[in-house]
Amino acid sequence: MLQLMFLGGIGLQEILIIAFIVLLLFGGKKIPELMKGLGKGVRSFKDGVNSIEEETKKELESSESTQQKEK
């Protein structure tokens, strides 16, 4: 049984039913477009997180160098 942490005890049958419903709602041609958009959103989010991490590292390095110069 496939268990996903954020979905609780969801099994293979439930995943197949959900996939079938999505296929019925959006059609076979629209699903790749939706996944492409989702991928772009995830990539944009990761880029934002990485830029925040880089800015934080730069600030830490600059504050450490300033403290070392003061000594």
- Count of domains in the chain? 1
pLDDT at 5: 56
Per-residue tens of pLDDT for the chain, all 71 residues = 445 556 567 788 998 999 899 889 888 888 888 889 999 999 999 999 999 999 999 998 888 777 777 66
The closest of 32, 36, 14, 10 to 23, measured between CA atoms, is 32
Instruction: Show the domain range for 36.
Output: 5-70
